[in-house]
Structure 1
Amino acid sequence: MTDRPIADYAVIGDTCTTALIARDGSLDWLCWPRHDGPAVFLALLDRDAGGTCRLVLDGLTGTERRYRPGTNILETILTTRTGRVTLIDFMPIARHEPVPEEGPDGHPEGRVVRRLVCESGTVSGHWRVRPTFDYARAATEATGQADGSILFRGGGDAMQAAASIPLTVGEGAAEGGFALSDGERVDLVLAHGAEGAAGLDRVEAWLSATEDYWCEWSGRCTYRGPYHETVLRSALTLKLLTHAPSGGIVAAATMGLPEAVPGNRNYDYRYVWMRDASFTVTAFVNLGYDREAAEFLRFMRDADPSRGRHLQLMYALGGPMPEETLLDHLRGWRGTRPVRLGNAASDQRQFDIYGELLVALHHYLEAVAFDPPVKVNDHLPEVLAHLAGHIMDVRHEPDHGIWELRGPMRQILHTKAMLWVGLDCAVQIARSDSSHRLAAPDQIARWEREAESIRAEYHAEGWNADLGAYTMDYGSTDLDAAVLRAVLFRAFDGHSPRVAATLDRVGEQLGAGDLLYRYRLDDGLEGQEATFTACAFWRVGCLAIAGRQDEATALFERLVARGNDLGLFAEEIDAETGEQRGNVPQGFTHMAIINHAVRLAQTQDTERSPADT
C-alpha cells in the first residue's frame, strides 16, 4: 500500500499528546501518554509493521474535512455509493474551573474518541484497531473483556478499545462491523492504560466539554487582522504542541518524516528545543496568550534548576534525553530510512539559544508590563546574569549553528547576531527596573559595551564584499537564509543597502520561486533536502521592514496557500512537487505564520514589530 502524502494528515490532541488522522479516517500516529512517549500507532512510518486504527467504508467515493470553528475537533465527511457519514475525531479535555495560576488549564482524559454519524442514505463498513506498542518493537496481545471492550497489552504498556457495536478479537487486533441508516451512529473510544472503563457512556459529555474548552481558548486570541482564521489555526496547532503537565512545548508532533526523498535526513522532533519553544512563546504573546508563555517559563524553572547556568539545547518532557538510536525494523515513510529515535543534536553547541531565551523572556515581560508572577520575578536577577554571562563567555567561540550542521563548527553569523540580540534584551529587561534589583548599573553598562562590540564584529566579519552579501560564517562564501532572521530581530538595519543586497543574493542562490532553501553547502548528509518553509516567511518580514508592503503581503498569501486543506504545515516543501516534507505539524512554521501576520498588520511602525522568526 502506498504511503499517504504528509499533507493528507490532520492533527488532534489534548495538550499531552497528539494523534494524526489521514483524509480517509485512518489514525496512523499516536504516542501515549505524552508527545515523546512510545508510539502505539505508527503506520505513518511503516504501513505494514506499524499499527493503526482504520475506518473502512464500503464503496467510498469521496472525502472532505474541516475543524469545528475555533477548535481542534476534526470532522471528516465521507461519501459512499449509498450514503454519507460524518466522522468526528477528538481527544477529550475539559477546562479547569477556576484555571490555576500555574499548571494545566484543562483536564485531559487520555482518550481518543471517534464518532461516526450517518447523515443520509445507508453506509456500511468496519473499524479495525491494531496497536503496535513501543514503536512496533513489542508483540501485541488482545483479549476481550466482560464489558465487551478489548484490552491490548505489549511492551509493558496497555490500551483499551470500546465501541457501541460488538468488537471481535483477532491476532493482536480487534474489528467491528456496522451498517448505519440516516441518523444512526457508532462510537469508538480508545483509552490509554488498563485501569478503569474506556468511558463509552461519556462521549456526549466529553464532546461538549472539549468544544467548550477550545472555543473559550480561541476566544481569547487578540489578533483581529485580515488573516484571522489562518492565524487562529496556527495558534490552535501550537497549543496542541504544548505539554500541559510540564509546560514544555515540543517542536513537532512526529519523528522520522524525511526532509529529503531519497536521503537520510530523518529526525525526531518530539522534544523541547530551546529555540523552537522560545519562538513559540513570542507567537503566543503576540496573540495575547501570556499564560502559555508563563507556562514555558515554568518548564524551564523545573528543567533547568541552575537558572540558565547550564542551559541545554533541548529537553525531553521529563527525565533525560534518550540516546539517538535507529529503528531499523521500520521501513520509513516511502521507504526513506533510517527512522531515528532521539536526537544526537542534543549534544551540539548552539550558542544562539542564550539569545533566544532572552528574547522570549523580554517579550513576555513586556506583555505583562514587567510585573510577572512571583515565581518568575524571584529568579530574574540570576537568570539575566547567567544568560548574559554565557553570551560574553562564548562570543568568540565557533558553534554548530541554527541548522544543527553535523560537520566542523564555524563562526556563524546568525549565532553572533543572536548573541547581540540577547544582550540587548538583557539590558532592556534590567533597565525596566529603576531600583536596579535585576542588575547593577555597572553590570548593565558592561552588557551594553559587550553588545556594541559583538555587533561591530559581525557587521565587519560577516560581510563578503566580493559576493555582495552577509554570509553564513566569517570569511565564507556560503549563503544562509538565517541571516534574514537576524534582520527581523534588528541585528541588522532592514533598510540598509547591504541588507537589500543580501536579500537579493539569497533569493538568487537559495530561492526556488517563492520558496527558500536554508543553504546550499555540502553538509555531509544524503539527498537534497526540500525548501525550508519558515525561511520563506522570513523573507516576508524582511520585505515588510524594507517598506515593500505590497510585495510582502502578496508573498505571505501565496505561502499560506501552500498549506494543506486544513491550513497545516510540515517543516519543508519540495520545490518541484509542492509536497510537504519533514515532521508535521511543525511549530517552527506555524509560529512564523502567526508572527508575520501580526507584522503585516503593523504597517505604521515595522521597525518595532514583535520578536519574530
Structure 2
Amino acid sequence: MTAESSTQPHPNERINGYAELRSYAAIGDGRTVALVARDGAVDWYPTPDLDSVPSFAALLDADDGGRIELRPEEDFRVERAYVDGTNVLATTFTTASGSVRVTDSLNTGVAGRLPWGELARRIEGLAGTVRMRWSVAPGNCFGTASPWVEDSAHGPVLHAQQTTIGVRGFQHGGQQVSDRSISGSFSTSPGSRHLVAVVSTHDEPLALPDPQTVDAGVDRTIANWQSWMKEFTYDGPWSEAVQRSALALKLLIHSPSGAVAAAATTSLPESLAGGKNWDYRYAWVRDTAYTLNALTRFGLREEVHAAVAGMLKSIRSQGKDLQVFTALNGEPADGAEVLDLPGWRGIGPVVRGNNAASQLQMGVFGDLFNIVQLYVDAGHVLDTGTGRLLADLADLACDTWQKRDAGMWELYDEQHYTTSKLGCWHALSCASHLADLGQIPGPSDRWRAEKDRIEAWVRENCWSEERGSYVWYPGSDKLDASILLHAISGFDRSERMSSTLDALREELGRGPLLYRYSGAEKEEGTFVACAFWMVSALTHVGRRDEAVELMDQLVPLANDVGLYTEMIAEEDSAFLGNFPQGLSHLALITAALTVNDSRTD
C-alpha cells in the first residue's frame, strides 16, 4: 500500500442515501470508470463505455439509480489505498469482531481490455470473523428501463435496457434473488478468500467466466497497471501525487479511440444551490493538449500517439467548423437533455449531453496547435492532409481573433476575452514554428505578423494600470484566472504578470485556493486547476519559493486516495463538481513539473 492510505472512524457519510463526494475512489479498465464509496458501495458504473447510460447510478439517484453493495453487517472503520502503481483499490474494514480486506478491480485481459465488463471484488479474511453482505441491484438507466431478473439455464441473470449482467463468485454465500436484484451474505475467517464479481455486456451475449478465472484477473490487472507504470519516469518533488494524478488521467483515456474524457461523471453540482451541473464525459481539445504535454514528459508514447491521431481524425471530419469538444468516439457531441432525476443529494439538474460544443471559443485554436507542436517536437511527423488542414485553421485564427466569443469558461456572455485572443496568439506562434520545420504549408509571414498584432492589442487593451493586472476583457476591471495559462505559454513572464498574480490572489484567492473569475464565489466553489496553475505561474515569474509553499498546501487537499474533483468549497473543503476531474490532475502535474524544472534553470 502507498502512503495515501489513512485510518479514520467510519463517518455517517450518507445523507438520504448519498455519500460525500470526497468518499469516492475510482477504478477503471480503459473503457469505463466505476466509483467506490468508503462504505463499499459502487454508486456509479456505466457500461460498456464511460459515456453510456449507467445501469448503476445511485450517485445521482439514491432510490432508483442502482448500486453494487459489499460491506460488513456491523459497524466498521475504514482504511483504504490503491495497490502500489495501480488503479486497483484495497479497502480494509475493521469491526468489533474482526477485519477484512476488499480488493476492487475493473479487470483487464491478457492482451489488454476485456471484451466484456468485469468488476471483481475479492474479499480476504484478516482477523476474527466478519459477517459480510452484498447486493447487485441495477437501476432504471436514467429513467429509461425497468430492471428484471431472468432465470437462465446457468442461473439468474439481470437485464437493464440492452445491458445483461451476471454475478459470479465463490465462498460468497447462497444467492437471494428478487425480481430486480441478486444478493447474499457470508462470513470471513482468518485466511479465508471470497469473490463477488459483476460481469456485463451490452446488446450481445453474456460471457460467464469461471469465478477462479475472474479472481486471477485481479492479479493480472494489478500486474498490467504496474507494467504501465514502469514506463513512467518522474523523480521530482511530490512524486506520489504526480504518480497518482498520472494514473487518474489514464483512467480517463478511452482506449478504443484514444480520446481523453474531462471527467468520469455527469451532473455533480458545482454549487450546492444547484443550476450548475454539466456532463463532462466528453473529450475537450484543451484537456487533450494538457494531457499530452504531461504524458510526453513522462515518456508514455502509445497514449500520446493514440490521442493525437484520434483527435486529428475527428478534426479533419469537422473541417473549419472546429469543435471545442467531441464525444469519446470522435463524433459530434449531443446537445444537453435534462433528465427527470433528483441528482446528487437532490441538487439538480441531471443532464446528459452538453450544449457548449458549438460555441465559439477561440482558445481551442491554441490548444490544438499546442498539441501538434508537442507531438512534432517530440520527434514525430505530420501527414500531408493534416498539414494542409492546420494551415487552413491558422488562416482562420488570423481572421477570427477579432470576434467576441464565449471564452474558456463557456459563458453565455460573449466578450473580447483576453485569454481567447491569446489562444489565437499561441496558435499562430505554434503554426509559425511548424512551418519553419516544414510540417505545415502556408503563409508563415502572415501568421507571424498577425501574432504580433494580437500581442500588441492585448498589451494595449487588456492591461489595467489601476488594477496592476491583466483584466478579463477590455473596459472591465474584472479578473480571470485563466490568464495564468499565459504565464505558462510564455506570453508574459514579466513584472506585469507577477503583478497580475498578486491581484488574482488578493481578489480570487481563498487560502491556497482560487476562484475562476470575479464574482464566481457567488455561484460555485473554488476551481482546483486554477490553484495549481498559480503554482506554475509563480515559478515562471521567478517566485519559486512561493510556488513551493503553495504546492505544499494544495497537495493535501486531495481525498484520502489522492483524487481531486473539479472544485472545492472554501468553507469546509468539501468536493464539488464532476469527479475525478482530469483538468485538476493535469494542473497538478504541470505545477510539479514546472517547479522541478526550475531547479536546473
TM interval, shorter chain, is over 0.9
Displacement after TM superposition at 1:156 (Å): 2.9
Structure 2 residue aligned with 1:576: 571
Structure 2 residue aligned with 1:416: 421
Structure 1 residue aligned with 2:63: 48
1:172 aligns with 2:196: no
| SS at structure 2 position matched to 1:268 | coil
- Aligned pairs for 1:9-88 within 5 A: 9-88=24-103
564-573 vs 282-291, greater mean Cα deviation: 282-291
Change (3 A) 1:390 1:195: same
Q: How many residues align structurally?
A: 580
1:134 aligns with 2:129: no
The answer to whether the Cα contact below 8 Å between 2:65 and 2:141 also exists between their aligned partners in 1 is no
Normalising by structure 2, we get a TM-score of 0.93
Structure 1 residue aligned with 2:441: 439
Structure 1 residue aligned with 2:593: 598
Give the partner amino acid of 1:120: A
- Aligned pairs for 1:168-207 within 5 A: 168-193=176-201, 194-207=205-218
The answer to whether the Cα contact below 8 Å between 2:109 and 2:217 also exists between their aligned partners in 1 is yes
Displacement after TM superposition at 1:62 (Å): 0.3
The answer to whether the Cα contact below 8 Å between 1:354 and 1:390 also exists between their aligned partners in 2 is no
Name structure 2 gaps, 5 residues minimum. Answer: 1-13
Structure 1 residue aligned with 2:3: none
- Aligned pairs for 1:114-129 within 5 A: 114-129=121-136
1:228 aligns with 2:239: yes
The answer to whether the Cα contact below 8 Å between 1:38 and 1:133 also exists between their aligned partners in 2 is no
Structure 1 residue aligned with 2:559: 564
Structure 2 residue aligned with 1:366: 377
CA distance in 2, matches of 1:304, 1:412: 24
Structure 2 residue aligned with 1:321: 333
Give the partner amino acid of 1:157: T
Change (3 A) 1:605 1:427: farther
Displacement after TM superposition at 1:281 (Å): 1.5
Name structure 1 gaps, 5 residues minimum. Answer: 97-104, 607-613
- Aligned pairs for 1:211-250 within 5 A: 211-250=222-261
Structure 2 residue aligned with 1:252: 263
CA distance in 1, matches of 2:102, 2:152: 26
- Aligned pairs for 1:327-406 within 5 A: 327-328=339-340, 330-367=341-378, 369=379, 371-372=380-381, 376-406=382-412
Change (3 A) 1:146 1:126: farther
Structure 1 residue aligned with 2:580: 585
RMSD (CA atoms)? 1.8
| SS at structure 2 position matched to 1:86 | strand
Displacement after TM superposition at 1:365 (Å): 1.8
The answer to whether the Cα contact below 8 Å between 2:92 and 2:100 also exists between their aligned partners in 1 is yes
Displacement after TM superposition at 1:283 (Å): 1.5
Structure 2 residue aligned with 1:295: 306
CA distance in 2, matches of 1:506, 1:420: 22
Give the partner amino acid of 1:429: L
Displacement after TM superposition at 1:522 (Å): 7.3
CA distance in 2, matches of 1:65, 1:257: 24
| SS at structure 1 position matched to 2:414 | coil
CA distance in 1, matches of 2:115, 2:579: 22
Displacement after TM superposition at 1:37 (Å): 0.5
Structure 1 residue aligned with 2:5: none
CA distance in 2, matches of 1:415, 1:552: 26
504-513 vs 195-204, greater mean Cα deviation: 195-204
The answer to whether the Cα contact below 8 Å between 1:42 and 1:51 also exists between their aligned partners in 2 is yes
Give the partner amino acid of 1:490: G
**Residue-by-residue CA offset, 1:408-459 (whole Å, 9 max, x unaligned):** 31100011111111111111122123xxx6325xx11111111111111111
Structure 1 residue aligned with 2:449: 449
The answer to whether the Cα contact below 8 Å between 1:307 and 1:383 also exists between their aligned partners in 2 is no
| SS at structure 1 position matched to 2:278 | strand
Displacement after TM superposition at 1:157 (Å): 2.6
The answer to whether the Cα contact below 8 Å between 1:15 and 1:108 also exists between their aligned partners in 2 is no
**Residue-by-residue CA offset, 1:237-270 (whole Å, 9 max, x unaligned):** 1011011111111000001110111221111100
| SS at structure 2 position matched to 1:410 | coil
The answer to whether the Cα contact below 8 Å between 2:316 and 2:389 also exists between their aligned partners in 1 is no
Displacement after TM superposition at 1:381 (Å): 1.7
CA distance in 1, matches of 2:480, 2:280: 22
Structure 1 residue aligned with 2:152: 145
1:312 aligns with 2:312: no
Give the partner amino acid of 2:179: E
CA distance in 1, matches of 2:288, 2:440: 24
**Residue-by-residue CA offset, 1:276-298 (whole Å, 9 max, x unaligned):** 22221112112111321211122
Structure 2 residue aligned with 1:264: 275
**Residue-by-residue CA offset, 1:201-220 (whole Å, 9 max, x unaligned):** 31233122211211111111
The answer to whether the Cα contact below 8 Å between 1:77 and 1:84 also exists between their aligned partners in 2 is yes
Displacement after TM superposition at 1:71 (Å): 0.6
- Percent identity between the aligned chains? 35
Structure 2 residue aligned with 1:279: 290
| SS at structure 1 position matched to 2:177 | strand
| SS at structure 2 position matched to 1:257 | coil
CA distance in 2, matches of 1:333, 1:292: 33
The answer to whether the Cα contact below 8 Å between 2:164 and 2:206 also exists between their aligned partners in 1 is no
- The one of 488, 494, 497 aligned to 2:495: 497
